[in-house]
């Protein structure tokens, strides 16, 4: 069983919709990362958070340490947001454990 579970695995939305991607993990962590991977492209680090909430443009990431759960929200989604979104945690060491990713497709 993967220690990091993401849901949904696939998500299709219409432009302008509010998007939520969820991440649950099973161990104590010190930091949680949200990453974005465009098709054929590299990976971009979106957020690193250990508590509360962070916002960057239309992206918002939240984490609940007690519930071992994090969410990534995208407001006013746009086709250019189409990508794979990956959740990863850094626990007692620096070796990140990754979720399998959520494939988001935003249609115009």
Interface residue list for other proteins (CB under 8 A): 2, 30-31, 33, 35, 41-45, 48, 50, 86, 88, 90, 93-101
Q: Where are the beta strands (DSSP E) in 1-108?
A: 4-7, 10-14, 19-25, 31-37, 43-49, 52-56, 59-64, 69-74, 83-90, 97-98, 102-107
Nearer to other proteins, 13 or 103 (CB): 103
User: What residues are paired with 83 via a beta bridge?
Assistant: 104
Least separation in angstroms between residue 31's CB and other proteins is: 4
Closest to 70 measured CA to CA, from 104, 21, 1, 36 = 21
Least separation in angstroms between residue 107's CB and other proteins is: 24
Least separation in angstroms between residue 40's CB and other proteins is: 9
């Amino acid at each position: 069983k993967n220690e990091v579970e993401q849901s949904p695995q696939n998500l299709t939305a219409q432009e302008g919709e509010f998007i939520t991607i969820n991440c649950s993990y099973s161990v104590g962590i010190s930091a949680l990362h949200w990453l974005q991977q465009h098709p054929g492209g590299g990976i971009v680090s979106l957020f690193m958070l250990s508590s509360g909430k962070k916002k960057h443009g239309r992206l918002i990431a939240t984490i609940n340490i007690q519930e071992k759960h994090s969410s990534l929200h995208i407001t006013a989604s746009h086709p250019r947001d189409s990508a794979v979104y990956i959740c990863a945690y850094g626990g007692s060491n620096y070796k990140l454990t990754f979720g399998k990713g959520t494939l988001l497709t935003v249609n115009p």
